[in-house]
Amino acid sequence: MANEKILIVEDEGIVTLHIRNTIERLGYTVAGTAASGDDAIMQAMEKRPDLVLMDIVLKGVVDGIDAADKIRALFSIPVIYLTAHTDENTLRRAKITEPFGYIVKPFRERDLLIAIAFALYKSKMEAERKWLLQQLDDAREEVMTVRGLLPLCCSCGKRRQDDGYWDKVGEYMKAGAGPDSGHGMCPECASIEHSGGADTGD
């Protein structure tokens, strides 16, 4: 069974117990319960659940929408609203927080199961996407670093230009090139090296 941890945020004790029993019956672990928005934020920080089931009307100044917004912004934890409120103003505020689901009470067990499964899957895909983008950025930086190396002949010190010709590195340095360099061998030096001789000049 699934072992993802879910935080329940609900200020009605009986409803909290019902949700807890349902979640555990579905095979998930209850990370904790909270009855206020402030407590929900604190528990999200301490327990880092995989998902938060959030009621909207809560005790205290911070309601469920404000708490969900902070939890998503601070910890990137997905939130599903589980509430009896469907008025236009509430829905408009809730949408801004980009929830992973919105279930209206009273809920059916199957509706909760589907919402949780989809939310956890979407969260996993988002995390993998962020990881891949970070890997791409890192690879791009490495490519730029490699491109920044000067292709110098390790024998005579000539630099290979982009068109394949080799010139004296002193002339290149005068043009304002950076100090980083990589080493290879120009065709003339390679030919001498291959023949085993040395170019003594006139």
Domains of the chain: 5-129 (3.40.50.2300), 148-195 (no CATH)
The predicted structure's pLDDT at residue 179: 46
Q: What is the spatial distance between Cα 128 and Cα 146, in angstroms, rounded to a whole number? A: 27
Q: Which residue has the tokens 């206020």?
A: 36
- Kindly give the confidence (pLDDT) of every residue in the chain, 202 residues in length, as a single tens digit, with 9 standing for 90 and above: 458 999 999 999 999 999 999 999 999 999 999 999 999 999 999 999 999 999 999 988 999 999 999 999 999 999 999 999 889 999 999 999 999 999 999 899 999 999 999 999 998 888 787 878 777 877 777 666 555 555 656 666 565 555 555 555 445 444 554 444 445 566 666 676 666 654 444 4
The predicted structure's pLDDT at residue 81: 97
Cβ–Cβ under 8 Å, residues 36 and 82:
no
100-107, long-range: CB < 8 A, 24+ apart: 100/51, 105/15, 107/82
Nearest-10 Cα torsion for 105, 106, 111, 112: 70
